[in-house]
């Protein structure tokens, strides 16, 4: 469930865009107005506002997007306001660049979006960057991490609910054999994770747990500092229990000495219209503090305000 | 250019479907009528005919499709009449099954279709078979062949014309190094083939030829009987010069002792609305005989007639 709150009575996109024009003139001068508008409009509405702005003023609402984003607040507003497919393309591209390289972001986008949303992100990526997400991921990774990430980002996964239990049993056994041999980069293991439907994979991993007595991620925790194994476990969590995965990303971002604003902004902006309510439940269960209070404790100013608006926190 | 010929004046889809109903009653009794209709309707028109048939008679024009297709003629009519995405899904599925396994068909579909057409084929595959093409290909292949085919079938390739010459040079050098080391299954080599746009790949391979004096496929012909190397060369041809690839498939199919009707039907039905004219030119250049005459020499009866209709041969 989403956390975004959209008022029942809305101004027209033209009115919104004119208000934003005023708020932007002398950027940063009216953050409250920006939050009160953009923090309460869904993707379709934000798109209409950008179109209205562009039609009236002949320029993109966010002409500065390609420039370096200076403050956490500005980045949050900009990332949030992008269309979801454009936003994923933007975040994924950043994650393939040398200085901002981040395999976690690629993994997360590849493994938690629906097949159609991932496809739209790839199309947005191609339209914007004139190359494919797959080629950039493949080019900027190597070794085992490439072997894992490229198939995950490439697949157009089947999304039906059908489960083949015979297959689940045989593939659970196969996974267990490979893990017992410490063949964590085995191609059969990667094949199963990267190509099976989420329903089928869940059945396989339940079977694994039933048959061999441990959740697979426990068996994959032999070396907690190995990045490949970390990514492998994260992929499994993203594919089978995304809310729990995101709750953990939030926990790490907030608990870090010096908040990880990049991760915090990413999870809040990308999930506010999808499942942030469920993520907040997971967060509270594990951390014994509501997500909005944790965010309020850890952030300040306009950045805090935009995040709280997106997590649905009532003032 | 297509070879399919559609008359300027067309009966309505309902009229066509009623004529086909008559022709099908006692299947095989009026092949000439079937050919005169279906052999001269494009994909959109055939779809309307199927819809009209289904609306009138409450059943699919080709309810027998899932049964074994008995004669070459029947198979050609059925494969041809399918919607292109459904047809690719049908052919690819057959190619992943044990008894009809065919890595060439998978390679061909993955590497010669546009990104959007390949995506549509994958969607048709999922709708019909309740699983993904990628998982079936990954499951039914192994070793080097899997390493090559799965990325080719997974990628949503960028289709722009932009070429990065610096990259073309560095990747041509990389390909040459790997081939010099006989590392034909090297992951960098597969990455380049499977993820770069066709325009970029063509630039890289031209650069390879200029810099190192041989076309890459010549350097990859060290063991003509190795299936992986054959597939690798075929992939390169499909991606950079598909008409030539298809002309060769036709040549092998026709010259074989006992025609390979499967390959002949596949190429004619899948390319008749796309580029069969160009393929026929390549064919004639290499074989010194027009394609329609070669087909006429090698086939007979109704099967011959439907093929000749599709290659645009005037009676």
Q: Which residues of A touch B194 (CB under 8 A)?
A: 138
Instruction: Tell me if A221 is assigned to some domain.
Output: yes
Q: What is the pLDDT of residue A30?
A: 81
Mean pLDDT of A50-54: 91
Subunit contact A157:B132, Cβ cutoff 8 A: yes
Instruction: Tell me if B73 is assigned to some domain.
Output: no
Q: What is the pLDDT of residue A256?
A: 80
pLDDT, one tens digit per residue, over A136-185 is: 999 999 999 999 999 999 999 999 999 999 999 999 999 999 999 999 99
Percent share of chain A, pLDDT over 70: 96
Chain B: give the shortest CA distance to residue A170, in Å: 12
Subunit contact A119:B119, Cβ cutoff 8 A: yes
Structure token pair of residue A10: 């809305």
Give the least confident one: A5-19, A52-66, B143-157, B237-251: A52-66
Instruction: Tell me if B6 is assigned to some domain.
Output: no
Residues on B contacting A at a C-beta cutoff of 8 Å: 119, 122-123, 126, 130-132, 134-135, 138-139, 146-147, 150-151, 154-160, 162, 187, 191, 194-197
The answer, yes or no, to whether residue A234 has pLDDT greater than 90, is: yes
Number of domains into which chain A is organized: 4
| CATH classification at residue A27 | 1.10.220.10
Subunit contact B126:A154, Cβ cutoff 8 A: no
Q: What is the pLDDT of residue A1?
A: 84
Chain B: give the shortest CA distance to residue A13, in Å: 33
pLDDT, one tens digit per residue, over A271-311 is: 999 999 999 999 999 999 999 999 999 999 999 999 999 99
Computed over every residue of chain A, the mean pLDDT equals: 92
- Between A33 and A197, the more confident residue is A197
pLDDT, one tens digit per residue, over A116-132 is: 999 999 999 999 999 99
Subunit contact B195:A134, Cβ cutoff 8 A: yes
Q: What is the pLDDT of residue A292?
A: 96
Domain boundary among B127, B155, B183: B155
Instruction: Tell me if B277 is assigned to some domain.
Output: yes
Subunit contact A130:B162, Cβ cutoff 8 A: yes
As annotated, the binding site of B for Ca(2+) includes: 24, 26, 28, 68, 254, 256, 258, 296, 298-299
Three-state secondary structure readout of chain A: CCCCCCCCCCCCHHHHHHHHHHHHCCCCCCHHHHHHHHCCCCHHHHHHHHHHHHHHHCCCCCCCCCCCCCCHHHHHHHHHHCCHHHHHHHHHHHHHCCCCCCHHHHHHHHHHCCHHHHHHHHHHHHHHHCCCHHHHHHHHCCHHHHHHHHHHHHCCCCCCCCCCHHHHHHHHHHHHHHHHCCCCCCHHHHHHHHHCCHHHHHHHHHHHHHHHCCCHHHHCCCCCCCHHHHHHHHHHHHHHCHHHHHHHHHHHHHHCCCCCHHHHHHHHHHHCCCCHHHHHHHHHHHHCCCHHHHHHHHCCHHHHHHHHHHCCCCC
Report the 10 Å Cβ neighbour count for B293: 13
Domain boundary among B240, B275, B307: B240
Instruction: Tell me if A77 is assigned to some domain.
Output: no
Instruction: Tell me if B75 is assigned to some domain.
Output: no
Residue closest to A143 by CA, chosen among B146, B191, B149:
B191
The answer, yes or no, to whether residue A196 has pLDDT greater than 60, is: yes
Return the residue of B nearest to A144 by Cα.
Answer: B187
Range of the domain at A112: 83-156
Whether A118 and A51 share a structural domain: no
Chain B: give the shortest CA distance to residue A120, in Å: 11
Q: What is the pLDDT of residue B26?
A: 63
Whether A246 and A315 share a structural domain: yes
Subunit contact A147:B191, Cβ cutoff 8 A: no
Instruction: Tell me if A18 is assigned to some domain.
Output: yes
CA gap A64, A227 in Å, rounded: 34
Q: What is the pLDDT of residue B314?
A: 63
Whether B271 and B313 share a structural domain: yes
Whether B175 and B230 share a structural domain: yes
Domain boundary among B113, B133, B155: B155
Q: What is the pLDDT of residue B29?
A: 62
Whether B197 and B262 share a structural domain: no
Asked if residues B311 and B276 have their Cβ atoms less than 8 Å apart, the reply is yes
Per-residue pLDDT of chain B (315 residues), as tens digits, is 889 999 999 999 999 999 888 887 765 568 888 899 999 999 999 999 999 999 988 888 877 544 545 689 989 999 999 999 999 999 999 999 988 899 999 999 999 999 999 999 999 999 999 999 999 999 999 999 999 999 999 999 999 999 999 999 999 999 999 999 999 999 999 999 999 999 999 999 999 999 999 999 999 999 889 999 999 999 999 999 999 999 999 999 998 878 899 999 999 999 999 999 999 999 999 999 999 999 999 999 999 999 999 999 865
Whether A188 and A213 share a structural domain: yes
Instruction: Tell me if B213 is assigned to some domain.
Output: yes
Whether B121 and B137 share a structural domain: yes
């Amino acid at each position: 469930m989403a956390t975004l709150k959209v008022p029942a009575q809305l101004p027209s996109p033209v009115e919104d865009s004119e208000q934003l024009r005023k708020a932007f003139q002398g950027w940063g001068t009216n953050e409250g107005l920006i939050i009160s508008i953009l923090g309460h409009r869904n993707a379709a509405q934000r798109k209409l506002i950008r179109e209205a702005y562009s039609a009236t003023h002949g320029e993109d609402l966010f002409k500065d997007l390609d420039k370096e984003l200076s403050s956490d607040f500005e980045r949050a507003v900009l990332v949030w306001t992008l269309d979801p497919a454009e936003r994923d393309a933007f975040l994924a591209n950043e994650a393939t660049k040398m200085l901002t390289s981040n395999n976690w972001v690629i993994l997360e986008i590849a493994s938690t979006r629906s097949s159609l949303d991932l496809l739209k992100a790839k199309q947005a990526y191609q339209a914007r960057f004139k190359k494919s997400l797959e080629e950039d991921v493949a080019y900027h990774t190597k070794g085992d991490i490439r072997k894992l990430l490229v198939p995950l980002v490439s697949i157009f996964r089947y999304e039906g609910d059908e489960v083949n239990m015979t297959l689940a049993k045989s593939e659970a056994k196969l996974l267990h054999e490979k893990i017992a041999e410490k063949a964590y980069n085995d191609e059969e293991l990667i094949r199963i994770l990267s190509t099976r439907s989420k329903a089928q994979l869940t059945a396989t991993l339940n079977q694994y747990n039933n048959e061999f007595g441990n959740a697979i991620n426990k068996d994959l925790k032999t070396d907690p500092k190995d990045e490949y194994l970390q990514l492998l476990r994260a992929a499994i969590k993203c594919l089978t229990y995304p809310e729990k995965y995101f709750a953990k990303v939030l926990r790490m971002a907030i608990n870090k000495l010096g908040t990880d604003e990049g991760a915090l902004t990413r999870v809040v902006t990308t999930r506010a219209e999808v499942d942030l309510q469920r993520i907040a439940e997971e967060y509270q269960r594990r951390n014994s503090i509501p997500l909005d209070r944790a965010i309020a404790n850890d952030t300040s100013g306009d950045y805090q305000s935009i995040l709280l608006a997106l997590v649905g926190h009532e003032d």
